[in-house]
Every structure is written in structure tokens, then in C-alpha cells.
Amino acid sequence: MELVKELWTFLRIRKKVWMAPIMAIMLLFGLLIVLTKGTAVAPFIYTLF
């Protein structure tokens, strides 16, 4: 959690808060890739797309 706190502080100080939604979407897609890698959840995720 400290990494997230430091990242948020960096974005706020450098006035780059607009990058937060982009990072969130990239994290979501990364999570989807990890979940679809041979798990029981994979068939349900494929139906979303």
C-alpha cells in the first residue's frame, strides 16, 4: 500500500493526476490477462468481449 501512496503523492505533486485513470485501466487489463491465464474464470471473461 505504501507504493500506491507514494505514486499518488508523486502524481499530485507533479500535477499529473490526469494519468490516474489511464493507470487504473492498464491495471484492470493486466488483471484480466492474469485471470485468463488458465483459470476456471477464463470462459466467463471471454464472454465479456
Q: What is the model's pLDDT at position 37? A: 74
Q: What is the pLDDT of residues 19-45, one digit of tens each?
A: 888 888 998 988 887 777 766 766 776
Q: Residue for cell digits 470462459?
A: 43
- The pTM score is 0.56
Instruction: Judge contact between 34 and 25, C-beta under 8 A.
Output: no
Q: What is the pLDDT of residue 49?
A: 67
pLDDT given at position 42: 67
Instruction: Tell whether the model's pLDDT for residue 9 goes beyond 80.
Output: yes
Distance of alpha carbon 6 from alpha carbon 33, whole angstroms: 26
